[in-house]
Every structure is written in structure tokens, then in C-alpha cells.
Amino acid sequence: MQYLLVLCGLVVLVSAILAALGFRGRPQVVGIDLGTTFSVVALKATDGTISIIPDYLTGKQLLPSVVTYVSNGNVLVGDVAVAQRGRHPERTIFNSKRFMGRELGEVVAERAAHAYRVLGNFSSSSSEPSASNLSAAAGFGIVLDGQKERWISPIDVGREVVAHMRRSVAQHLGFEISRAVICVPAKFGWRETKATQEAFEQAGMKVMRILEEPTAAAVAYNLHEGDGVRHVLVYDIGGGTLDTSLLYMNGRSVSVLSVAGDDHLGGSDFDAQMQLLLKSKLERGAAEIADSDVAKESCESSGLHILAEDMKIRLSNELRVESRCRHSDGRDRLLVVSRGEFEEASSELFGRAMAPVQKVLDDQMMTADYINDVVLVGGASRMPKLRQLLQEFFGPSKRLHTEIDPDITVAWGAASVLD
């Protein structure tokens, strides 16, 4: 009995010392951005610092939101799934967030833009997926091993991505976490939000709180902690979509006043423009024959697509870039593109990218002078021309917040609200 009392006393003493040192136990909640192109999971440590959990397979911070259904009934997620798009395009699902919680009639334009089949859910009168019932829930038709077509919902795809991130967290920390703060686009309605939450719950995650993505981005920069009223514009351009949101912030009270965007404009569109530019150079004979034999990609469409994305990214830090491709005649071609050349070729895209900024202000009968802060989110926001246009629009006195990696800002903000 005396031994037990001493042991209890020691436990109390150690606990008090740890509490005095700020130790509050191990973290129990993560912040997750389940994105259209990439997904990110962030963790707030007990000392208040925030970190991004790397993918347990690749070590990368960004997990492609891509799932491939393979013949043995298993699934591939992330980079390994991306590698299957060329071999199994009909079984590799990407951009599934565009279909989350939506009916078939709402995604008519999206159906033609993907190699996989977009179908309605099974109806009550048929055991087959429907291609014509526009009021049915949108999903994907997958055929494995010659079997009957199987209907996969966007929730199923999201579940696989979330489950993969949960495994990354467990491997990184050495223990599992099953609670999360999640984010959804400000334009999501009740159905889309509910479907997103269900994807997390099916992956074994309990959703503790749901934040709108622009709110999470503003929270990442602690803009909610300022005094007085602030108007914040969040400019979010990722791989395939552009969302611009106008926020009203008064202390910790945050509300979204207006949202505008372009569901078919993102980094991939600028990649396509770069690809057209490279193709034009080859056709005009503007690509010199290179002496060296080092090209890894062909000068055909598939090879140019890879080179285009790489060159676009490099132009964010360099004024001139070059790459080589292997021509059908067996000799390499040297492709050289300047930043100015790329920006001129993409002028129409940059114009489209600025239109939603004016629209969210017009919706509230406001001008750029009313905006206190501008937060940039999404990988495509790194393009210097885009930042230049935004700076010119809001004036030299307005600060563009880019201190946090724009690819991880939303997840960072989700983790920031954790106690």
C-alpha cells in the first residue's frame, strides 16, 4: 500500500514538471487539405510549431490526388497512380473533387475532359450505372479483369487519398491520429461538403471542424488575430481551378463575402500553352539540332507535355530556360524559351486569371483600396507575371502574402486552429 502511494506521488510529480515545461502530450489532430490536384496534411506540435507530414512512399509534401484501380482489386494512390495514367487512363481517377457531391447533369462539361468514364449512380430500377440519368449522383465507371462495370463514387476516391495520408501520419509519428480539421472550397454547398466529410469518415477520420479554404489561408497568416475590421482577398490558383474569395474579418470573426473563379483555369492550362509554344518552335524549325545525345523525352506530344510543365516551373525563377527532346530522326532538338516569350504566348490566360478579382470586388461594390491583405494560394500563383498583375491591381502599398509555400497554405491554416 505504501509502495502504491509513493508510485502515485511520483506520477503526480512528473506530470506537474512536464506541465510546467509546457508538455501537453502528443498531438491528436491534424489539418488536411483534400485538394483537386494535390492533398496535404499538416500537424501542429505541442510546442505550437506546424509541420507538413511527408508521403510515406515518396517523402514529398504534396500527395497527388490521383487513384488507380488495379487488376488485383487493390488501389494505387499518389505518384504511383500518376505513373499509371498513360497505361490505364480509364482506371486512373484524378480531379475527382470536381465531381464530389454533384449530379451527372451538373458535370456535363467535365465528362468530356477526362479519359475515364463519368456515369450516374445505380438507379433503383437497374443494377447498371447510368450514362443518361442526369439527376443521379456523378461517379466513375471502372472495368477490372473483364468483369461487369463497377461504379466508383468521388467519395470512394477521396477515402483512398485520405487513408493514404493517414498511413503517412502514422508512419511519421509512430502512432495513429484519427481526428482532423478539414477544408472545403467556399463555393461548396451542403451536398459537396457532406460528401467530403463522408470521405474522411469512411477513411476512419473523425472530422472535428470544417473550414472554408480561403478562411484557412487567412488563418495561416494569423490575419484573424488583428484588431479592427480587415478585408482580405484570397487568390487560389491550383493545377486546374481558380478561386478568388473576399473575406470580412473582425477579430476572430471571419465570413466570406463573395466568391468568383474559373473552374477550368489553372497551372495545367499554362502547361498546355507552353506545350503549344514548344510544338510551334519544332514545326518552324526554331529548335536547333543539339550535338549532345542526352534527351530523356521525345519531341512527340507526350514528351513535350512533360518538358512544358518543367520549363514553366523553372521560368518562375529564371529568365530563360532550355531543354532537349529526342526527334523522330534520332537527333536531339534544343528548345529555348524566355520568360517574356512564355508570358506573351499566355496573355489570354493571364487576362482570364485576373477577371475574378474584379468580379468579387464588383459584387460588393468595392474597389482595390478597400483590401487590406492579399493571400496567394496554389502552385500556379508562383508565376511572376501573375504576381506582377496582382501587385499592379492592388497598388505598391499592398502586400502580397507569399511567405508560406502556397501549396501548403490551406493545410497550414487548418492545423493552426488546433488547440
**Total domain count, the chain:** 1
CB atoms under 10 Å from CB of 367, counted, come to 11
Q: What is the pLDDT of residue 76?
A: 97
Helical (H) or strand (E) element with 110: helix 108-111
Residue at 292 is within a domain: yes
- Output the pLDDT for position 138: 93
Using a cut of 0.75, tell me whether the model's pTM lies above it.
yes
Residue 18: predicted pLDDT? 37
Residue 282 located in a structural domain: yes
Q: What cell does 62 get?
A: 504534396
CATH code of residue 302: 3.90.640.10
As a whole number of angstroms, the distance between CA 270 and CA 378 comes to 14
Q: Is residue 71 assigned to a domain?
A: no
Contact 55, 42 (CB under 8 A): no
Q: Report yes or no on 350 lying in a domain.
A: no
Chain centroid offset of residue 74 CA:
24
Domain annotation covers residue 327:
yes
Collect the ranges in the chain with pLDDT lower than 70.
1-27, 122-132, 419
Predicted pLDDT at 370: 95
Instruction: Show the cell assigned to 380.
Output: 500556379
In a domain, 277, yes or no: yes
In a domain, 275, yes or no: yes
Q: Is residue 332 part of a domain?
A: yes
What range defines the domain where residue 289 resides? 267-345
Q: Which residues contact 37 (CB under 8 A, 6 or more apart)?
A: 64, 65, 94, 95, 238, 239, 240, 266, 267, 379
Nearest Cα to Cα of residue 239 among 221, 262, 213: 262
